Structure formats: structure tokens, C-alpha cells
Structure 1
Amino acid sequence: MLQEDFHKPNEIIVGKLHFLFTRTAKNWYYKMRQDNGKHDWPWCQSEIITQWAGNSWRFKIKNSLESAIVNSEKDKPLTWFLIQKEILSALHPDMSESMINMIIFRKYGGELVHSIKCRCVEPCYTEDYINSMEDIITRKRIGKSWTRVPMESKMVSKNARKDKRPSRHVLKCH
């Protein structure tokens, strides 16, 4: 986040930081403000970089990226895709947008990636990828699992029917 991006003075940017941070970062920011007092945006920016852009942060972000598996039933494609894109662009700021898109789509795998590649001709914007992905998931159910009836319930129902019927053959013991 740069001051030039928003054309806002330092005071407004620093004033909005407590809205941007969540959980641990928000607690850290409040403690930093208590310890050091009020400072301008460049000072806050350097503190944020020293606190959150170290090797441990990179390791944590890489692990979250590798362990993120999309579930089409629970996750909305747009939100999941944008979160993964943010993580990748934070880890590799020099990576091209098309490369980021391909890395994210590999996490879906199989038929969905093939269908998206068939619909989107290179070069394609992220929005086009996301729109085609949502369309494919909703219309063709690619990436969604089918609900199956467990075999145990079928076996129980067959056994229940057998018990209700009278047996045709009566065995006599002599």
C-alpha cells in the first residue's frame, strides 16, 4: 500500500491501519502505537516490513499456500482464487499474472483445468478465468463430488425385506 496509490496524506493512511489489521497484527499494531507513539506512514511501513516480512512469515505463507486445497462444495471460487492470488503475489512480486493464474489452477486439477484452458485463450485476464471457472463448476458440476448412498443402508433395507417375507421352504428336522 503506497501513499501515491490513494493520493491521501500520511495521517489518513496511518489512521486507517487499525481497520486493515486483524487478530495478531491488530494487537501488534496497538502495542507498537503504545510503545512508540504516533508516527508518519514511512516509519509505520518500515516497522510493518520488519515485523511481518521475515523468513518465518514467508515459511508460514508458503505452507498455507501448499496446504490450501479447494473444495468446490464449500469455497466460492472467486474468494478462494483471490486469496491464493494475494498470497502468491506477496511471495513472488515479480511473477507474471498468467503464471500466478496457472499455479492456482493447478490446485484444482484434472478436468476443471482442461475446461478452463479450452474456454480462455491466452492472454486472458484473471476475471475471465474466474468467470469461466464459476460457470463450469455451476453448470457442469466439474470439481463437485456426487453424493452417494452408502452400501450399508442398502444392505440393511434388503435384509429388512427378507425378514418380513414368509419363507417358502420349511426345513423339518427328523
Structure 2
Amino acid sequence: MELIDYIDGLFNYVPSIPDYWSTARLNTAFEGHASIWYTEMKEIHGRRNWPWWKSQIIPKYRNGTWIWKKTMSFENDKYSVDKAPYEWCLRQSKRLKVVHLYWRNFNLIQPLRLDFDPTLNFKLLLSQFGQELQAAKG
């Protein structure tokens, strides 16, 4: 889903970007089974624009099984002191964002806080999380 956000962002940032620029390199964005799926779809349907590809990708990869796997990944990745807090927070926030599409950053913090050991300094960890989110946004 990050791919969709990225390409949509390109069109929002540069509305005049030719559509083929966004779809010409899709083959490099997919790996494993997704790459095979993309190649087969391209052979069957030929060259298509970004809205068409987006309408194919979302139902294929944002289904109940995929959401369940992301949810389980979130629940099973517990924070421990041997992990870098900002890396863990970013990884977990990405999982939450793809499952809960309309949550804002404020909504993401609460589930992350519940996973921390109460003896840790929340302010420091959440401050690092906020800084990393700002850096990721550019």
C-alpha cells in the first residue's frame, strides 16, 4: 500500500506527470508472487494507466488475509529494550497505517504505547517516534 501512496503522491505533487511514468517501472516494485501476478496481468491486459492498476492492486493485496497478517505482525512484534525504539515505532506505525487507512498519527500512538514496558521513558520514545515520522514525511 506504500506503493499506492507513493504513486498517488507523485500525481498530487506533479499533476502533469505522464501516466506512463508511474506505471513503466511497476515491475521493479513487485517481488516474488506479486511480481508473477503483475507480469501475468500485464500480458493479459496490456499497457494500462495508473487508476486501472490501482483498482487491481487494492483488491488483490488489501484483502482479509492480508489485513489479518498485518494485524498479527503488529500484535506479535512486542517492544523490548534491545530494539531501537524509533525503528520499532516506525515498523509498527506502518502496520497500523495500512490496516487503519484513516487513522491520524494521534490514533497510532495509543496502540504503540500499550506495548511499551511501563518503566520506559514514554516521552523520550514518543518524541523519537514523532521526529522519525517528520523525517519520513520529508
Q: Same fold (TM over 0.5)?
A: yes
Residue 32 of structure 2 corresponds to residue 23 of structure 1: yes
Bigger radius of gyration among the two: 1
Task: Give the Cα–Cα distance (whole angstroms) in 1 for the partners of residues 75 and 125 of structure 2.
Answer: 26
Task: Give the Cα–Cα distance (whole angstroms) in 2 for the partners of residues 100 and 80 of structure 1.
Answer: 13
Number of residue-to-residue matches in the alignment? 125
Q: Once the two structures are superposed, what CA deviation does each residue of 1:16-75 show, in whole Å capped at 9, x if it has no partner?
A: 3223223332222122212222111010000001201122221121111111123442x4
> Where do 4+ consecutive residues of structure 1 move more than 6 Å?
118-121
Match of 2:122 in 1: 116
**Structure 1: stretches of 5+ with no match in the other structure:** 131-174
Task: Give the Cα–Cα distance (whole angstroms) in 1 for the partners of residues 125 and 67 of structure 2.
Answer: 34
Contact 1:116/1:129 (8 A) holds in 2: no
TM-score for both structures, normalised by structure 1: 0.60
Match of 2:57 in 1: 48
Root mean square deviation of aligned Cα: 2.8
Residue 84 of structure 2 corresponds to residue 76 of structure 1: yes
Aligned with 1:89 (options 83, 92, 97)? 97
Task: Give the Cα–Cα distance (whole angstroms) in 2 for the partners of residues 129 and 86 of structure 1.
Answer: 10
**Structure 2: stretches of 5+ with no match in the other structure:** none
Aligned partner letter, 1:81: C
Secondary structure of 1:110's aligned partner: coil
Query: Quick check: which one's helix share is greater?
Result: 2
Task: Give the Cα–Cα distance (whole angstroms) in 2 for the partners of residues 129 and 111 of structure 1.
Answer: 24
TM-score for both structures, normalised by structure 2: 0.73
Q: Once the two structures are superposed, what CA deviation does each residue of 1:96-126 show, in whole Å capped at 9, x if it has no partner?
A: 21220221232222212xx1237868xx971
Contact 1:120/1:129 (8 A) holds in 2: no
Aligned with 1:35 (options 44, 65, 70)? 44
Task: Give the Cα–Cα distance (whole angstroms) in 2 for the partners of residues 71 and 125 of structure 1.
Answer: 15
Match of 1:57 in 2: 66
Task: Give the Cα–Cα distance (whole angstroms) in 2 for the partners of residues 102 and 10 of structure 1.
Answer: 39
Greater length-normalized contact order (CA 8 Å, ≥ 6 residues apart): 2
